[in-house]
C-alpha cells in the first residue's frame, strides 16, 4: 500500500506561463532557470519513492520477532543498525534538498509567493519520508519489547503524514495559481488539481478511520456530499480550462504565422507545451471520477483487494498528472 502512496509523492508544481515570445534574452534566461529549478524540485520529490525499499530490513526484523527467530537484544541491535543506515541515506537526500531550497537563480513575475512555498517543499518531502521511517522503527521496537502488534498502526500513522503532505501541496498550488493569468489554461488546471488533492485527503481520512484511527482535522460530516461537490467543481475547472486552451491555441497558431529565427523557435516550444494540456484535462477528470469511488472502494479492513485496486488507480492518476506537469517544465527549460 505504501508503495502506491509514495509513488504519489510527485510534486505538482505550477509551470511558468509565458507570453508567446520572450521580449529579450534575459527573459529567456529567467524562464529557463525557473523551469529547470522547478523540474529538479519535482524530480527530487519523485526520488522519495526509492526509500520504500530501505524499510524492508525493518519488516524482516519484525517478522523474525513474530516467528520467535530472534531475541529482544538482537532485534533491538539490528533495528539500531538499520536506522543508522537509513539516517546516512537521509543525510545525502537532505543535502540535495538544501541546495534546491535555496531557490531558482531568477524569479518570475507573478510566482514570487509560490516560490517561497516551493522552497519549503524539500523539507516537507524529507519530513514525510522521515516520518515514515519513524513509524516503522517505533513499530519494530514495540514488537521487540513484547508489545502486541497492531496490523494497522504503521499505516494509520503513515496516512496521517500523507494528509499533511497533501495539505501543504494544496497550499503551494493554490498560491502558484494566484500568480497565473485567469486567461491561461494552467490557472484552471491548477484549480482542478487543488480540489482533487482535497478529495485525496478525504479518501485518506476514510482509510485511516476504517483502520481504527481517530478522526483528524480533515474529517467532515458527510464524505459523500463533499466528494460529489469536489467532482463537480473539478468538472467546472476543466471546462473553463478547455475554453482558455482553445482561445490561446488559436492565438498561438495566428502568432506562429510568419515567425522566424528565435521567435519561431520559442513558438515551437510553446506549441509543444500546449499540446500536453488536453491529456492533463482528461487526467483530472479521471482522477475526480476515481476519487468518487472512495466510500465503496477504500475498505482496507474488509476488502483489501478492492483497496489495492483503488490505490493502483490513485497512483496511475498521480503519475499521469505529474508526468505531464514535469514535461511542461522540461519544455519550458528550453526557452
Q: How far apart are CA 304 and CA 307, in angstroms?
A: 5
Is 227 in contact with 295 (CB distance < 8 Å)? yes
Give the pLDDT confidence score for residue 130 in this predicted structure: 92
Give the pLDDT confidence score for residue 177 in this predicted structure: 84
End-to-end CA distance of the chain: 39
Q: How far apart are CA 287 and CA 291, in angstroms?
A: 6
**Can you read off the three cell numbers belonging to residue 263?**
521567435
Give the pLDDT confidence score for residue 270 in this predicted structure: 85
- DSSP string covering 231-262: HHHHHHHHHHHHHHHHHHHHHHHHHHTT--HH
Give the pLDDT confidence score for residue 27 in this predicted structure: 63
Cell 480540489 identifies what position? 195
Quote the domain boundaries for residue 325: 2-18+27-332
CA neighbor of 6 nearest in space, from 327, 315, 215, 332: 315
Sign (positive/negative) of CA torsion 21, 24, 28, 31?
negative
Give the pLDDT confidence score for residue 17 in this predicted structure: 38
pLDDT tens figures, 313-333: 998 898 899 889 888 878 877
Give the pLDDT confidence score for residue 26 in this predicted structure: 52
Give the pLDDT confidence score for residue 246 in this predicted structure: 94
Give the pLDDT confidence score for residue 197 in this predicted structure: 95
Question: Low-confidence residues of the chain, pLDDT below 70?
Answer: 1-28
Number of folded domains in the chain?
1
**Can you read off the three cell numbers belonging to residue 222?**
458527510
Amino acid at each position: 500500500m505504501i508503495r502506491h502512496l509514495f509513488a504519489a509523492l510527485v510534486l505538482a508544481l505550477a509551470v511558468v506561463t509565458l507570453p508567446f515570445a520572450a521580449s529579450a534574452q534575459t527573459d529567456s534566461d529567467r524562464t529557463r532557470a525557473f523551469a529547470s529549478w522547478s523540474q529538479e524540485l519535482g524530480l527530487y520529490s519523485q526520488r522519495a519513492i526509492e526509500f520504500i525499499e530501505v524499510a524492508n530490513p525493518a519488516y524482516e526484523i519484525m517478522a523474525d520477532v513474530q516467528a520467535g527467530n530472534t531475541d529482544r537484544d538482537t532485534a533491538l541491535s539490528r533495528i539500531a543498525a538499520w536506522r543508522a543506515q537509513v539516517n546516512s541515506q537521509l543525510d545525502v537526500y537532505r543535502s540535495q534538498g538544501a541546495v534546491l531550497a535555496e531557490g531558482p537563480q531568477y524569479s518570475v513575475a507573478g510566482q514570487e509567493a509560490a516560490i517561497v512555498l516551493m522552497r519549503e517543499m524539500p523539507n516537507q518531502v524529507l519530513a514525510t519520508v522521515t516520518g515514515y521511517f519513524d513509524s516503522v522503527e517505533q513499530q519494530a521496537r514495540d514488537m521487540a519489547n513484547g508489545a502486541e502488534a497492531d496490523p494497522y498502526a504503521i499505516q494509520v500513522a503513515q496516512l496521517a503524514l500523507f494528509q499533511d503532505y497533501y495539505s501543504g501541496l494544496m497550499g503551494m498550488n493554490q498560491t502558484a495559481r494566484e500568480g497565473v493569468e485567469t486567461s491561461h489554461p494552467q490557472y484552471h488546471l491548477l484549480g482542478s488539481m487543488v480540489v482533487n488533492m482535497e478529495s485525496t485527503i478525504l479518501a485518506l481520512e476514510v482509510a485511516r478511520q476504517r483502520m481504527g484511527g481517530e478522526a483528524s482535522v480533515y474529517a467532515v460530516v458527510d464524505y459523500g456530499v463533499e466528494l460529489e461537490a469536489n467532482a463537480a467543481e473539478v468538472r467546472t475547472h476543466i471546462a473553463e480550462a478547455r475554453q482558455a486552451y482553445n482561445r490561446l491555441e488559436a492565438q498561438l497558431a495566428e502568432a506562429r504565422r510568419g515567425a522566424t529565427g528565435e521567435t519561431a523557435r520559442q513558438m515551437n516550444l510553446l506549441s509543444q507545451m500546449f499540446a500536453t494540456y488536453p491529456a492533463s484535462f482528461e487526467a483530472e477528470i479521471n482522477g475526480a471520477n476515481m476519487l468518487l469511488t472512495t466510500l465503496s472502494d477504500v475498505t482496507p479492513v474488509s476488502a483489501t483487494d478492492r483497496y489495492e485496486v483503488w490505490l493502483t488507480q490513485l497512483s496511475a492518476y498521480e503519475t499521469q498528472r505529474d508526468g505531464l506537469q514535469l514535461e511542461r517544465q522540461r519544455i519550458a527549460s528550453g526557452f
